[in-house]
Amino acid sequence: MDKDYSNPKMEKDCSSIVDAQLPEVEAHAKSGNLTNAFDQLLSLEKQTRTAADLASSTRVLKTFIKLTFEAGDWKLMQEYIVLLSKKHGQLKQAITRMVQESMDCLDKTPDMKTKLELIDTLRTVTDGKVYLEVERARVTRILAKIKEEEGNITDAADIMQDLQVETFGSMEKREKTDFILEQVRLCLLKRDYIRANIISKKINTRYFKETEVQDLKLRYYDLMIEYSLHEGEYLQVCKHYRQIFDTPSIKEDPAKAKLAIESAALFVALAPFDNEQSDLIHRVYKEAEEVDTPVYRDLLKCFITSELMRWAMIEQIYGPTLGKNPALAGGDEGAKKRLKELHNRVVEHNIRVVAKYYTRITTKRLTQLLDLSDRECEEFLSKLVVSKTIFAKIDRPAGVVSFAKSKRPNEVLNEWSQDINSLLGLIEKTCHLITKEEIIHSITKVM
């Protein structure tokens, strides 16, 4: 086994010396003679350090912090933190305990200026030291919180982003995930959505299957919903709400479970049609049956059924209930945009239904079915044709829309050949049945 030079083997047990001298040091400090107290303590620190006595060295270093704190001399505390951490041969674990002791004093500082100075000292001492990476991350988070409370979101986010906690081997997975979520939250507050998305990918969502991290799971998906809403990724929002709905703590609360599945139903209806959306809307429809959401379930059924929907009827029947959903409530720009998107999805659904049942239709009749003007109707048709959702050709002079694809000669010949084969097969089967009946009839006649 390789020798550990950073924490060498203890050469001498200094516990008896420390036990004898620490009361004297504390007595000097209480009498106000700090100079003698720290001179004696520095001599004691050197003995424990050279002897590589971790327990004794830790006690001595923590005593430095204790005495400066009791004396209220924060400048002196910071000086000794820097001095002791730079001592040659200083044990890493002893430095770690000293830094942790100093961090416990952060909440007891007399003013914000002193607190920021102590934080700055601790960040300086811990910079670049792997064995202090966790302590540095915790101090950095405290500093970022202070900056956020001051209203300086940009600085708070930049401070947090300096640390790559996903590479910290000594940090527990829960704390690491919590730290990354804080980074994402600050990026979203800063409106740096690209970086928020990049940082969020550092979290493996399989970790959220563990029951003890349900709170982190809910925080993660709340942040992802905020990001996806900004990007207009409604299908992703639906997936996030489904993950929230699948959380045991949410299922135990009927009100929260209902809100989650209602939001999932709304956003899957808002998502543009494709194969994934079609599959997901059927899944959400089945999940909606688990909770009491008849309005949302009926709305999804309208999108699943190949029948025309009138927007006026949708507003009349589902409008009051949908208006209570947080995504559509409030009347802000986002809610208005999503309401318009819902109208667009209804129109697109109606066009797909028309394309399914009609090969050719006049533009006048199509505008009547869709409740749109000629220009709006043409815009929606063009959009669906470009996305390859449907096939359509518009003959403006004739005022006709054709949904039938023009076939190539080879395709026509192949269909004709298949029809002929099918016809010959039916004729052969018919002849066989006639022959069978004749044979049965002749046998019956003989008998």
In whole angstroms, give the CA distance from residue 232 to residue 212.
Answer: 32
Query: What percentage of the chain reaches a pLDDT higher than 70?
Result: 97
Domain end, chosen from 75, 92, 126, is at 126
Q: Are residues 421 and 397 in the same domain?
A: no
Whether 100 maps to a domain, the answer reads yes
Instruction: Assign 5 a pLDDT band (cuts: 50, 70, 90).
Output: very low
| Residue type at position 149 | E
In whole angstroms, give the CA distance from residue 159 to residue 168.
Answer: 17
Whether 314 maps to a domain, the answer reads no
Tens-digit pLDDT profile for residues 98-135: 999 999 998 888 899 999 999 999 999 998 888 899 99
Q: Are residues 57 and 99 in the same domain?
A: yes
pLDDT at residue 8 above 70? no
CATH number of the domain where residue 397 is located = 1.10.10.10
Instruction: Assign 214 a pLDDT band (cuts: 50, 70, 90).
Output: very high
The CA-CA-CA angle for residues 222, 226, 228, to 5°, reads 110
Whether 69 maps to a domain, the answer reads yes
pLDDT at residue 31 above 70? yes
In whole angstroms, give the CA distance from residue 36 to residue 25.
Answer: 8
DSSP code per residue over 377-392: HHHHHHHHHHTTSS--
Orientation angle between helical segments 54-71 and 34-50, nearest 10 degrees: 160
Whether 200 maps to a domain, the answer reads no
The alpha carbons of the chain give a radius of gyration, in whole angstroms, of: 37
Taking residues 390-399, report their average pLDDT.
Answer: 88
Determine contact, residues 193/187, Cβ cutoff 8 Å.
yes
Whether 445 maps to a domain, the answer reads yes
What's the full length of the chain, in residues? 447
| Average pLDDT value over all residues in the chain | 88
- pLDDT top residue among 10 and 156: 156
Half-sphere exposure of 78 (CA within 13 A, CB side): 16
Whether 71 maps to a domain, the answer reads yes
Q: Are residues 438 and 367 in the same domain?
A: no
Give the tokens for residue 290. 């688990």
Domain end, chosen from 126, 146, 178, is at 126
Furthest-apart CA pair in the chain: how many Å?
A: 137
For 20, 78, 104, 168, 374, the CA distances from 120, given in Å and listed in that order, are 35, 9, 15, 21, 67
Quote the pLDDT of residue 323. Answer: 86
- Bridge partners (DSSP) listed for residue 82: none
Quote the pLDDT of residue 35. Answer: 81
Whether 104 maps to a domain, the answer reads yes
**Phi/psi of residue 362, nearest 5 degrees:** -75, 150
pLDDT at residue 249 above 80? yes
DSSP code per residue over 388-446: TSS--EEETTTTEEE-SPPPPHHHHHHHHHHHHHHHHHHHHHHHHHHHHHHHHHHHHHH
Give the tokens for residue 383. 């959009």
Q: Are residues 397 and 425 in the same domain?
A: no
Q: Are residues 397 and 418 in the same domain?
A: no
Give the tokens for residue 46. 């050197």
Q: Which domain holds residue 418?
A: 414-447
Quote the pLDDT of residue 182. Answer: 94
Tens-digit pLDDT profile for residues 270-286: 999 999 999 999 999 99
Taking residues 379-401, report their average pLDDT.
Answer: 89
Domain end, chosen from 66, 95, 126, is at 126
Determine contact, residues 104/83, Cβ cutoff 8 Å.
no
Q: Report the number of distinct structural domains present in the chain.
A: 3
In whole angstroms, give the CA distance from residue 277 to residue 270.
Answer: 10
Whether 2 maps to a domain, the answer reads yes
Strands laid side by side in the 393-395 sheet: 360-362, 400-402, 393-395
Quote the pLDDT of residue 329. Answer: 80
